[in-house]
């Protein structure tokens, strides 16, 4: 079994073509839109959810079956139809990144099971060996990271920027940043919540800043 190279791809402003308009395609499209991709959907019919995305101009819908040449200029392609022949044709025609749902042998990349908490993304993959196990591991990890981890990450990013500006002593600054994003901090986030952790970090920062100005 071949192993895959793990990577996160910047899709902002990139053309992404999805062939298929069912529920699986809808889930794939939601992720592409979230990542900033410019999504074109090729399918005779689409779900109600995709119709709403079309109304909001989040996607461009080509209302017909797939044709050779439809992938020209695409940065990323997803084949998500229930027709194996169409999926195979898409795989053969693609000159870029191509994912074929439930047929990894026809794809040059697969999509892992994802945990998303704001800026935090954790990807779990079994290299296609067992998507069910990947989901089970994802569910186990989800319970380990509370929803406010995303809020905490946005906060700690601001604190890092402030520390770089206001704490000139490199040793003290690095010690503060390391402590603020330690395993102990994550444990406190789980047990005490974001507000308590935020207050503690801000108090430590303010103390260091006052000492730096003294």
Look at residue 1 in the predicted model and tell me its pLDDT: 60
Q: What is the mean pLDDT of residues 162-188?
A: 95
What does the pLDDT look like over 83-126, one tens digit per residue? Answer: 999 999 999 999 999 999 989 899 999 999 999 898 899 999 99
Contact yes or no for 99/111 (Cβ under 8 A): yes
**pLDDT, tens digit, for every residue of 2-31?**
788 999 999 999 999 999 999 999 999 999
pLDDT band at 161 (very low <50, low <70, confident <90, very high): very high
pTM attached to this predicted model: 0.81
Q: What distance in Å separates the CA atoms of residue 38 and residue 13, rounded to the nearest whole number?
A: 6
CB neighbour list of residue 75: distance below 8 Å, 6 or more residues apart:
11, 14, 15, 16, 37, 96, 97
Position 71 scores a pLDDT of 98
Q: Are 37 and 9 in contact (CB under 8 A)?
A: no
Q: How far is CA 2 from CA 13, 104, 109, in A?
A: 31, 11, 12
Q: Tell me, what's the pLDDT at 53?
A: 98
CA distances from 6 to 59, 87, 109, 123 (A): 27, 24, 10, 9
């Amino acid at each position: 079994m071949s192993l895959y190279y793990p990577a996160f791809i910047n899709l902002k402003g990139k053309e992404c073509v999805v062939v298929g308009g069912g529920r699986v395609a809808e889930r794939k499209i939601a992720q592409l839109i979230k990542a900033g991709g410019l999504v074109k959907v090729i399918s005779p019919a689409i779900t109600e959810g995709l119709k709403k995305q079309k109304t909001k101009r989040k996607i461009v819908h080509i209302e017909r079956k797939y044709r050779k040449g439809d992938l020209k200029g695409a940065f990323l392609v997803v084949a998500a139809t229930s027709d194996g022949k169409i999926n195979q044709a898409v795989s053969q025609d693609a000159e870029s990144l191509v994912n074929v749902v439930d047929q990894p042998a026809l794809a040059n990349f697969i999509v892992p099971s994802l945990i998303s908490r704001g800026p935090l993304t954790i990807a779990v993959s079994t290299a296609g060996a067992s998507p069910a196990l990947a989901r089970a591991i994802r569910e186990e990890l989800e319970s380990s990271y509370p929803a406010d981890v995303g809020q905490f990450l946005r906060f700690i990013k601001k604190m890092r920027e402030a520390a770089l500006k206001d704490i000139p002593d490199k040793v003290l600054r690095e010690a503060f940043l390391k402590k603020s994003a330690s395993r102990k901090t994550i444990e406190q986030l789980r047990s005490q919540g974001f507000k308590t952790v935020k207050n503690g970090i801000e108090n430590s920062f303010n103390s260091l800043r006052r000492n730096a100005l003294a």
